[in-house]
Amino acid sequence: MGVLQAVVSAMKLSGSVFLEAEFSCPWCVTSQIGPEDCALFFSEPAHVISYHYVVEGALLCAVGDAPPVEVRAGQVMLVPRNEKHRLGSWMDAHAPNARDLIQPPDERGLVRIAWGGGGDTCRMFCGFLGTVAPINAFLLGLPSLLVVDLDPGSAGWVASSFEFASTGLSARSPELVGRLAELLFAEAVEQYVDALPAGQTGWLAGLKDPHVSRALALLHTRFAEPLTTEVLAREAGLSRSALAERFTMLIGEPPMRYLGRHRMNVAANLLQESRQNACNVAYAVGFNSEAAFNRAFKKEFGVPPGAWQKARCQPAATAA
């Protein structure tokens, strides 16, 4: 799973635990992270992954029109594309929005929800992961809901970590909280990939293919090098045409197009994190021409890298 770790790490996730909730049966709410939830911690990310960690009790979770899934204490549920979902002891089609039930922040700066019919309780922490990279084949290939089944040995430190994060660490260091949730996200994806049936297609199925996964690993670790389909094929142990066909079938696009988009995602991370100028970033991601880099970046994000960087970094500078 080295390539999976590389892909998740390259997303440069930041995160937050922003809400503690205690519900009592019967109850049901709808949930979806909005821009206002992110604003307290960092500028609005390009993409959001929402998650809920169940500390006590059990609940049902349904994303969109999908059937509900039972989630128990010690499990983490992630919604990779931040779709609207329902949480509850039962599924109410007219459930209120959880945002309308939020109480003012406590002394830790954490908002709370305490709501329900007074029966058995379910307690959870809610948060999100944000990335500057736009939604990609990796995220599109994930199911609408992932549930991490933590082993008994790790459940204790995960619970204590979320408790610690809820004391205000989220606002002070979203990167540290993001690292915790990133590990859980990677674990959820790994569990999902391991359970994929034979013959499955898609980006995640590519991780199980020895040739395609080797090519993906090269694309994610040596993206700044002058890679070609021929080079990838030789390293992957296939002919050029066989790799191109196999890669496109599983991933959904040819290797070189995938490389181009990945370079742009890495460039976006560098522009936001290190405040490097476009010229330095261009060379860092494998371009020998700043003009060519500017054209490729604008094609991917809609604006030149300089304008994109200014728009993304301005809120942080103003807040400081």
**Each residue of 82-111: pLDDT tens digit?**
999 999 999 998 999 998 998 887 666 667
State the pLDDT at residue 43.
63
Q: How many CB atoms lie within 10 A of CB 296?
A: 20
The tokens of 137 are what? 């084949």
Q: Is the pLDDT of residue 41 over 70?
A: no
Beta strands 14-24 and 111-116, pairing class: parallel
Gap between the Cα atoms of 197 and 33, Å rounded: 32
Gap between the Cα atoms of 316 and 320, Å rounded: 6
The CATH number fitting domain 198-252, selected from 1.10.3470, 1.10.287, 3.40.390, 1.10.10: 1.10.10
Q: How many CB atoms lie within 10 A of CB 120?
A: 15
- Please answer whether residues 14 and 130 qualify as being in contact, where contact means their C-beta atoms are separated by less than 8 angstroms: yes
The CATH number fitting domain 258-320, selected from 2.20.25, 1.10.10, 3.10.450, 2.40.50: 1.10.10
Region of 178 (left: φ > 0; alpha: ψ -120 to 50; beta: rest) is alpha
Alpha helix stretches (DSSP H) within the chain: 2-10, 35-39, 137-140, 152-164, 170-172, 174-194, 203-206, 210-221, 229-236, 240-251, 255-273, 278-284, 290-301, 305-319
The phi, psi pair for 124, rounded to 5°, reads -150, 160
Q: Which of 213-222, 240-249, 290-299 has the lowest mean pLDDT?
A: 213-222
Average pLDDT over residues 181-194: 77
Q: How many CB atoms lie within 10 A of CB 170?
A: 23
Q: Do 198-252 and 258-320 have matching folds? A: yes
Q: Is the pLDDT of residue 243 over 50?
A: yes
Beta bridge partners of 215: none
Half-sphere exposure of 294 (CA within 13 A, CB side): 9
**Nearest Cα to Cα of residue 180 among 53, 312, 30:** 53
Q: Structural domain boundaries of the chain?
A: 2-194, 198-252, 258-320
Gap between the Cα atoms of 26 and 119, Å rounded: 7
State the pLDDT at residue 318.
41
Between the alpha carbon of residue 134 and those of residues 13, 82, 193, the distances in Å are 12, 13, 22
The CATH number fitting domain 2-194, selected from 3.30.310, 3.30.70, 1.10.150, 2.60.120: 2.60.120
**Higher-pLDDT residue of 198, 32:** 32
Find the Cα–Cα–Cα–Cα dihedral 152, 78, 180, 194, rounded to 10°. Answer: 60
